[in-house]
Amino acid sequence: MADARQLKATIIGLSAVLMWATLGLFGAGSGAVPPLLLNAICFGISGSLALIWLLAKGKIALLRQPLKVWAFGTIGLFGFHFFYFTAIRNAPPVEANLINYTWPLLIVVFSAFLPGEHLRLHHVIGTVLGLAGAALLITGGEGIDFSGGSALGYGAAVASSLFWSSYSVLSRRLGAVPTEAVAGFCLMTALLSGICHVFLEETVWPAAPLEWASVMALALFPIGLAFFTWDIGVKRGDIQVLGAAAYSAPLLSTLLLIAFGFGALTVSVGLACVAITLGAVIAAKDMIFKKRKIRTTGP
Protein backbone atom coordinates (compact mmCIF):
# COMPACT_ATOMS: atom_id res chain seq x y z
CA MET A 1 0.00 0.00 0.00
CA ALA A 2 2.86 2.33 0.84
CA ASP A 3 4.43 1.59 -2.56
CA ALA A 4 1.14 2.44 -4.28
CA ARG A 5 0.95 5.78 -2.45
CA GLN A 6 4.55 6.60 -3.38
CA LEU A 7 3.88 5.69 -7.01
CA LYS A 8 0.82 7.96 -7.10
CA ALA A 9 2.76 10.87 -5.55
CA THR A 10 5.61 10.34 -8.02
CA ILE A 11 3.22 10.47 -10.99
CA ILE A 12 1.66 13.65 -9.59
CA GLY A 13 5.15 15.13 -9.23
CA LEU A 14 5.99 14.18 -12.81
CA SER A 15 3.05 16.29 -13.99
CA ALA A 16 5.05 19.32 -12.83
CA VAL A 17 7.84 18.37 -15.24
CA LEU A 18 5.31 18.18 -18.07
CA MET A 19 3.96 21.62 -17.17
CA TRP A 20 7.47 23.12 -16.95
CA ALA A 21 8.00 21.86 -20.50
CA THR A 22 5.51 24.52 -21.68
CA LEU A 23 7.57 27.38 -20.23
CA GLY A 24 9.42 28.01 -23.49
CA LEU A 25 6.30 28.00 -25.63
CA PHE A 26 4.15 30.20 -23.40
CA GLY A 27 7.15 32.37 -22.57
CA ALA A 28 7.73 33.00 -26.27
CA GLY A 29 4.07 33.91 -26.63
CA SER A 30 4.14 36.40 -23.75
CA GLY A 31 5.91 39.07 -25.79
CA ALA A 32 8.50 41.47 -24.40
CA VAL A 33 7.38 41.39 -20.75
CA PRO A 34 10.58 41.51 -18.63
CA PRO A 35 11.20 38.36 -16.56
CA LEU A 36 10.73 39.73 -13.04
CA LEU A 37 7.50 41.47 -14.01
CA LEU A 38 6.33 38.27 -15.71
CA ASN A 39 7.22 36.43 -12.52
CA ALA A 40 5.23 38.91 -10.41
CA ILE A 41 2.17 38.69 -12.66
CA CYS A 42 2.17 34.89 -12.92
CA PHE A 43 2.82 34.15 -9.26
CA GLY A 44 0.30 36.85 -8.33
CA ILE A 45 -2.40 35.19 -10.46
CA SER A 46 -1.59 31.62 -9.38
CA GLY A 47 -1.31 32.57 -5.71
CA SER A 48 -4.57 34.54 -5.79
CA LEU A 49 -6.46 31.70 -7.48
CA ALA A 50 -5.11 29.25 -4.91
CA LEU A 51 -6.13 31.65 -2.12
CA ILE A 52 -9.67 31.85 -3.52
CA TRP A 53 -9.80 28.04 -3.66
CA LEU A 54 -8.68 27.80 -0.03
CA LEU A 55 -11.37 30.29 1.02
CA ALA A 56 -14.04 28.38 -0.92
CA LYS A 57 -13.00 25.07 0.67
CA GLY A 58 -12.71 26.53 4.16
CA LYS A 59 -9.02 25.66 4.30
CA ILE A 60 -7.56 29.13 4.73
CA ALA A 61 -6.27 28.12 8.18
CA LEU A 62 -3.69 25.91 6.44
CA LEU A 63 -1.75 29.09 5.65
CA ARG A 64 -1.05 29.53 9.36
CA GLN A 65 2.47 28.15 9.34
CA PRO A 66 5.56 28.99 11.43
CA LEU A 67 7.74 31.83 10.19
CA LYS A 68 10.51 29.39 9.25
CA VAL A 69 8.11 27.60 6.88
CA TRP A 70 7.11 30.86 5.20
CA ALA A 71 10.76 31.88 4.91
CA PHE A 72 11.75 28.49 3.49
CA GLY A 73 9.04 28.42 0.82
CA THR A 74 9.40 32.05 -0.23
CA ILE A 75 13.19 31.98 -0.37
CA GLY A 76 13.08 28.75 -2.36
CA LEU A 77 10.68 29.97 -5.06
CA PHE A 78 11.87 33.56 -5.25
CA GLY A 79 15.56 32.79 -4.82
CA PHE A 80 15.63 30.32 -7.68
CA HIS A 81 13.90 32.66 -10.13
CA PHE A 82 15.86 35.74 -9.07
CA PHE A 83 19.25 34.05 -9.49
CA TYR A 84 18.18 32.37 -12.73
CA PHE A 85 17.18 35.69 -14.29
CA THR A 86 20.40 37.26 -13.00
CA ALA A 87 22.37 34.43 -14.61
CA ILE A 88 20.89 34.72 -18.08
CA ARG A 89 21.32 38.52 -17.99
CA ASN A 90 24.99 38.42 -16.96
CA ALA A 91 26.35 35.33 -18.73
CA PRO A 92 25.91 33.69 -22.14
CA PRO A 93 22.46 32.01 -22.00
CA VAL A 94 23.71 28.61 -23.21
CA GLU A 95 26.36 28.32 -20.51
CA ALA A 96 24.05 29.79 -17.84
CA ASN A 97 21.28 27.34 -18.71
CA LEU A 98 23.69 24.43 -18.67
CA ILE A 99 24.94 25.31 -15.18
CA ASN A 100 21.37 25.88 -13.96
CA TYR A 101 20.30 22.48 -15.24
CA THR A 102 22.56 20.72 -12.80
CA TRP A 103 19.70 21.00 -10.27
CA PRO A 104 18.11 17.64 -11.17
CA LEU A 105 21.50 15.96 -10.65
CA LEU A 106 21.92 17.77 -7.31
CA ILE A 107 18.45 16.61 -6.22
CA VAL A 108 19.46 13.00 -6.78
CA VAL A 109 22.78 13.49 -4.95
CA PHE A 110 21.34 15.50 -2.03
CA SER A 111 18.48 13.04 -1.58
CA ALA A 112 20.99 10.44 -0.36
CA PHE A 113 21.18 12.41 2.89
CA LEU A 114 17.45 12.12 3.57
CA PRO A 115 16.20 9.63 6.17
CA GLY A 116 15.13 6.37 4.54
CA GLU A 117 16.57 7.25 1.12
CA HIS A 118 19.40 5.38 -0.61
CA LEU A 119 21.35 6.59 -3.62
CA ARG A 120 21.99 3.66 -5.95
CA LEU A 121 24.20 3.33 -9.00
CA HIS A 122 21.32 3.28 -11.49
CA HIS A 123 20.05 6.60 -10.07
CA VAL A 124 23.45 8.19 -10.75
CA ILE A 125 23.78 6.63 -14.23
CA GLY A 126 20.27 7.71 -15.22
CA THR A 127 20.75 11.25 -13.98
CA VAL A 128 24.15 11.68 -15.63
CA LEU A 129 22.65 10.47 -18.92
CA GLY A 130 19.93 13.07 -18.46
CA LEU A 131 22.51 15.79 -17.83
CA ALA A 132 24.43 14.73 -20.95
CA GLY A 133 21.23 14.90 -22.99
CA ALA A 134 20.34 18.31 -21.59
CA ALA A 135 23.87 19.56 -22.32
CA LEU A 136 23.60 18.33 -25.91
CA LEU A 137 20.20 19.95 -26.26
CA ILE A 138 21.25 23.31 -24.81
CA THR A 139 24.56 23.58 -26.69
CA GLY A 140 23.32 22.09 -29.95
CA GLY A 141 26.36 19.81 -30.01
CA GLU A 142 28.73 22.78 -30.21
CA GLY A 143 31.49 23.72 -27.80
CA ILE A 144 30.92 25.91 -24.76
CA ASP A 145 33.10 28.64 -23.36
CA PHE A 146 33.00 29.54 -19.67
CA SER A 147 35.52 32.33 -20.07
CA GLY A 148 34.81 35.95 -20.96
CA GLY A 149 34.39 37.72 -17.65
CA SER A 150 30.88 36.44 -16.79
CA ALA A 151 31.68 35.45 -13.22
CA LEU A 152 28.55 37.13 -11.82
CA GLY A 153 26.30 35.29 -14.26
CA TYR A 154 27.96 31.94 -13.71
CA GLY A 155 27.84 32.41 -9.95
CA ALA A 156 24.15 33.26 -10.15
CA ALA A 157 23.53 30.13 -12.25
CA VAL A 158 25.22 28.00 -9.59
CA ALA A 159 23.09 29.73 -6.94
CA SER A 160 19.86 29.10 -8.87
CA SER A 161 20.72 25.40 -9.18
CA LEU A 162 21.56 25.14 -5.48
CA PHE A 163 18.40 27.01 -4.47
CA TRP A 164 16.00 24.77 -6.39
CA SER A 165 17.70 21.48 -5.61
CA SER A 166 17.93 22.38 -1.90
CA TYR A 167 14.31 23.57 -1.84
CA SER A 168 13.13 20.35 -3.47
CA VAL A 169 15.09 18.03 -1.19
CA LEU A 170 14.48 19.94 2.06
CA SER A 171 10.74 19.99 1.30
CA ARG A 172 10.89 16.31 2.18
CA ARG A 173 11.89 17.28 5.73
CA LEU A 174 8.76 19.45 5.92
CA GLY A 175 6.38 16.67 4.98
CA ALA A 176 3.92 17.76 7.68
CA VAL A 177 3.48 21.15 6.01
CA PRO A 178 0.38 20.93 3.76
CA THR A 179 0.81 21.53 0.04
CA GLU A 180 -1.85 24.25 0.32
CA ALA A 181 0.80 26.45 1.99
CA VAL A 182 2.44 26.84 -1.44
CA ALA A 183 -0.30 29.41 -2.17
CA GLY A 184 1.30 31.70 0.39
CA PHE A 185 4.77 31.08 -1.04
CA CYS A 186 3.48 32.10 -4.49
CA LEU A 187 1.97 35.35 -3.20
CA MET A 188 5.15 36.30 -1.34
CA THR A 189 7.23 35.47 -4.43
CA ALA A 190 4.97 37.71 -6.51
CA LEU A 191 5.44 40.56 -4.03
CA LEU A 192 9.23 40.26 -3.94
CA SER A 193 9.40 39.92 -7.75
CA GLY A 194 7.30 43.06 -8.13
CA ILE A 195 9.60 45.02 -5.81
CA CYS A 196 12.71 43.86 -7.68
CA HIS A 197 11.06 44.70 -11.00
CA VAL A 198 10.51 48.31 -9.93
CA PHE A 199 14.22 48.77 -9.24
CA LEU A 200 15.77 46.56 -11.92
CA GLU A 201 13.54 46.55 -15.01
CA GLU A 202 11.61 48.74 -17.38
CA THR A 203 7.87 48.03 -17.31
CA VAL A 204 6.51 46.43 -20.49
CA TRP A 205 3.00 44.94 -20.31
CA PRO A 206 1.60 42.26 -22.66
CA ALA A 207 0.57 44.06 -25.82
CA ALA A 208 -2.07 41.78 -27.37
CA PRO A 209 -4.77 39.26 -26.37
CA LEU A 210 -2.52 36.35 -27.40
CA GLU A 211 0.24 37.63 -25.13
CA TRP A 212 -2.17 37.95 -22.20
CA ALA A 213 -3.45 34.43 -22.94
CA SER A 214 0.13 33.14 -22.84
CA VAL A 215 0.72 34.91 -19.51
CA MET A 216 -2.47 33.35 -18.11
CA ALA A 217 -1.38 29.91 -19.33
CA LEU A 218 1.99 30.41 -17.61
CA ALA A 219 0.24 31.41 -14.38
CA LEU A 220 -2.13 28.44 -14.45
CA PHE A 221 0.38 25.72 -15.23
CA PRO A 222 4.22 26.06 -15.24
CA ILE A 223 4.25 29.04 -12.84
CA GLY A 224 1.22 27.87 -10.90
CA LEU A 225 -0.15 24.35 -10.55
CA ALA A 226 3.28 22.83 -11.23
CA PHE A 227 4.66 24.03 -7.89
CA PHE A 228 1.78 22.37 -6.02
CA THR A 229 2.16 19.02 -7.78
CA TRP A 230 5.96 19.17 -7.41
CA ASP A 231 5.49 19.70 -3.68
CA ILE A 232 3.43 16.50 -3.46
CA GLY A 233 6.00 14.59 -5.50
CA VAL A 234 9.11 15.60 -3.56
CA LYS A 235 7.39 15.08 -0.19
CA ARG A 236 5.78 11.72 -0.81
CA GLY A 237 7.11 10.32 -4.10
CA ASP A 238 10.36 8.82 -5.36
CA ILE A 239 12.62 11.87 -5.30
CA GLN A 240 15.46 10.24 -7.26
CA VAL A 241 13.11 9.38 -10.12
CA LEU A 242 11.73 12.91 -10.09
CA GLY A 243 15.23 14.37 -10.23
CA ALA A 244 16.25 12.24 -13.20
CA ALA A 245 12.93 12.76 -15.02
CA ALA A 246 13.28 16.55 -14.66
CA TYR A 247 15.75 16.48 -17.54
CA SER A 248 12.83 15.73 -19.86
CA ALA A 249 11.54 19.29 -19.30
CA PRO A 250 14.07 21.03 -21.60
CA LEU A 251 13.65 18.26 -24.16
CA LEU A 252 9.84 18.43 -24.22
CA SER A 253 10.06 22.23 -24.24
CA THR A 254 12.30 22.11 -27.32
CA LEU A 255 9.98 19.65 -29.07
CA LEU A 256 6.98 21.89 -28.37
CA LEU A 257 8.81 24.93 -29.78
CA ILE A 258 9.70 22.90 -32.88
CA ALA A 259 6.09 21.74 -33.27
CA PHE A 260 4.86 25.33 -33.18
CA GLY A 261 7.46 26.60 -35.64
CA PHE A 262 9.97 28.16 -33.24
CA GLY A 263 12.81 25.74 -34.06
CA ALA A 264 14.00 22.82 -36.19
CA LEU A 265 14.48 19.12 -35.47
CA THR A 266 18.22 18.38 -35.62
CA VAL A 267 20.49 15.40 -34.99
CA SER A 268 21.51 16.84 -31.61
CA VAL A 269 17.84 17.07 -30.55
CA GLY A 270 17.32 13.44 -31.58
CA LEU A 271 20.38 12.25 -29.65
CA ALA A 272 19.33 14.30 -26.62
CA CYS A 273 15.91 12.63 -26.78
CA VAL A 274 17.52 9.18 -26.68
CA ALA A 275 19.90 10.06 -23.81
CA ILE A 276 17.25 11.73 -21.63
CA THR A 277 14.66 9.00 -22.22
CA LEU A 278 17.15 6.22 -21.54
CA GLY A 279 18.39 8.01 -18.43
CA ALA A 280 14.87 8.43 -17.07
CA VAL A 281 14.06 4.75 -17.64
CA ILE A 282 17.27 3.62 -15.91
CA ALA A 283 16.69 5.93 -12.94
CA ALA A 284 13.07 4.79 -12.66
CA LYS A 285 13.96 1.09 -12.67
CA ASP A 286 12.84 0.55 -9.09
CA MET A 287 9.56 2.38 -9.63
CA ILE A 288 8.81 0.39 -12.80
CA PHE A 289 9.37 -2.92 -11.02
CA LYS A 290 7.30 -1.75 -8.05
CA LYS A 291 4.45 -0.87 -10.40
CA ARG A 292 4.59 -4.31 -12.00
CA LYS A 293 4.62 -5.94 -8.56
CA ILE A 294 1.61 -3.93 -7.44
CA ARG A 295 -0.32 -4.95 -10.56
CA THR A 296 0.69 -8.60 -10.18
CA THR A 297 0.01 -9.01 -6.46
CA GLY A 298 -2.83 -6.55 -6.05
CA PRO A 299 -6.48 -7.57 -5.52
pLDDT digits (tens, 9 = 90+) for 24-47: 889 889 999 999 999 999 999 999
User: What would the pLDDT profile of 59-93 be if each residue is shown by its tens digit?
Assistant: 999 999 999 999 999 999 999 999 988 888 888 77
Amino acid, single-letter form, for residue 173: R
Closest CA to 245 of 110, 135, 77, 105: 105
Q: Is 291 helix (H, G, I), strand (E, B) or coil?
A: helix
- The residue that leads in pLDDT, 272 or 143, is 272
> Does the pLDDT value for residue 276 go beyond 60?
yes
- pLDDT value, residue 123: 82
Q: Give pLDDT, residue 187.
A: 97
Q: What is the DSSP letter of 178?
A: -
Residue 121: exposed, middle, or buried by beta-carbon count in 10 A (0-12, 13-18, 19+)? exposed
Q: pTM (2 decimals)?
A: 0.88
Q: What is the pLDDT of residue 277?
A: 82
